[in-house]
């Protein structure tokens, strides 16, 4: 029987039991889970191994590439700038980034970036995975290209491009890269162990992700938006094994952290703008998260989705409550914020499954935490 280390408040044992089962049965190799409830940390556990060979234990400060869970950090930065009056979510992007108006994009609003509805779900220019470390090349390519559908009419998951689109507007407004702004304005004030662009000093704590099978596009038309989006460049789950990937700022995909840091940061949404006495957002700005920006069948994910200001909202695909938002990452990581239950749950792991925005392991842990909360 696998055992987890860490802390579990009485009543939340089902969360620990589930993670221990996952580790014992091989669904997880190494993972961490943190639950906040009522402004209190009620679960902070970790277990398993930080390497596929199972030679090094996953310890308290192990960190891992969390893939698209990183996007939640870019949403938070966007909302902070909006709260300060420096960014208008309804403003044309070209107001901040004039070059972006090229190729018929002059009327795209920043909120279209947050809701994956800008029509820029992939790169039209042929890029290699290594090109993702070249910020200027990526943002110039996106500024030059035409949308793949009429912006604002549908979502199409911007799996990699969203980070560059949001990040370049942040850079134009603040003069800082989004990773630098995030570090100075969010991670450091909160004491949160999360990075968009990993410093050399944290390298020895990294657990390398264990790649899943490659996505199978054989049932999709080669010129479909899904295939174009997810193959430009092709998603390479082994990219985080390389220092160039970890050091770069790829804000939609290469954040490094653990459940403790993700839950701490994203509990700002659950707590209506405040974390540990530090107010990052007004309650009114947090409310914008829950305002539907777009809903319907996503043109990339090919499933019903509903997006607020960045975060995913409840839909027939993800049946959660009206004051719940979430996002997850390629392979399984996830964070869920439920205001009605005053609950934040984060799960970060190294063994990737095939899901692009999470899988059942994370949602089962969320359900265990929610059940424990309702039983108190």
pLDDT digits (tens, 9 = 90+) for 11-57: 999 999 999 999 999 999 999 999 999 999 999 999 999 999 999 99
List the structure tokens of 217: 């596009």
Say which residues have a Cβ less than 8 Å from residue 208's Cβ, sequence separation at least 6.
Answer: 50, 51, 52, 64, 240, 241, 350
Q: Give the span between the Cα atoms of 73 and 109, in whole angstroms.
A: 20
pLDDT for the residue 1: 63
| pLDDT at residue 376 tops 90 | no
| pLDDT at residue 297 tops 80 | yes
End-to-end Cα distance, the chain: 27
pLDDT digits (tens, 9 = 90+) for 301-344: 999 999 999 999 998 878 888 899 999 999 999 999 999 999 99
| pLDDT at residue 217 tops 70 | yes
pLDDT digits (tens, 9 = 90+) for 343-353: 999 999 999 99
Homologous superfamily of domain range 5-375: DD-peptidase/beta-lactamase superfamily (3.40.710.10)
Q: Which range (75-89, 240-254, 356-370) has the least confidence?
A: 356-370
């Amino acid at each position: 029987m696998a055992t987890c280390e860490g802390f579990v408040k009485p009543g939340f044992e089902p969360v620990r039991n589930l993670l221990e089962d996952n580790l014992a049965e091989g669904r997880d190799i190494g993972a961490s889970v943190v639950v906040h409830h009522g402004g209190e940390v009620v679960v902070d556990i970790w277990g398993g191994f930080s390497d596929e060979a199972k030679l090094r234990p996953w310890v308290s400060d192990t960190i891992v590439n969390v893939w698209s869970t990183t996007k939640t950090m870019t949403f938070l930065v966007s909302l902070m700038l909006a709260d300060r009056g420096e960014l208008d979510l309804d403003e044309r992007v070209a107001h901040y980034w004039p070059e972006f108006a090229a190729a018929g994009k002059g009327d795209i609003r920043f909120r279209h970036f947050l809701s994956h509805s800008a029509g820029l779900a992939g790169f039209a220019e042929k890029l290699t995975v290594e090109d993702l470390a070249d910020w200027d090349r990526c943002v110039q390519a996106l500024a030059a290209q035409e949308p793949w559908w009429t912006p604002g009419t549908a979502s199409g998951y911007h799996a990699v491009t969203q980070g560059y689109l949001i990040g370049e507007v942040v850079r134009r407004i603040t003069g800082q890269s989004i990773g630098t702004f995030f570090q100075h304005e969010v991670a450091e004030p909160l004491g949160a162990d999360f990075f968009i662009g990993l410093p050399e000093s944290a390298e020895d704590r990294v657990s390398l992700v264990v790649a899943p099978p490659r996505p199978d596009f054989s049932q999709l038309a080669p010129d479909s938006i899904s295939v174009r989006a997810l193959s430009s460049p092709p998603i390479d789950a082994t990219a985080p094994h390389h220092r160039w990937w970890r050091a770069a700022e790829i804000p939609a995909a290469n954040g490094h952290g653990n459940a403790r840091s993700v839950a701490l940061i994203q509990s700002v949404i659950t707590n209506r703008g405040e974390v540990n006495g530090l107010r990052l957002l007004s309650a009114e700005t947090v409310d914008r998260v829950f305002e539907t920006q777009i809903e319907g069948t996503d043109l990339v994910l090919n499933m019903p989705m509903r997006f607020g200001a960045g975060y995913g909202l409840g839909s027939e695909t993800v049946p959660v409550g009206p004051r719940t938002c979430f996002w997850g990452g390629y392979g399984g990581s996830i964070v869920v914020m439920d205001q009605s239950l005053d609950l934040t749950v984060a799960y970060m792991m190294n063994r990737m499954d095939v899901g692009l925005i999470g899988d059942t392991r994370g949602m089962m842990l969320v359900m265990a935490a929610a059940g424990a909360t309702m039983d108190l």
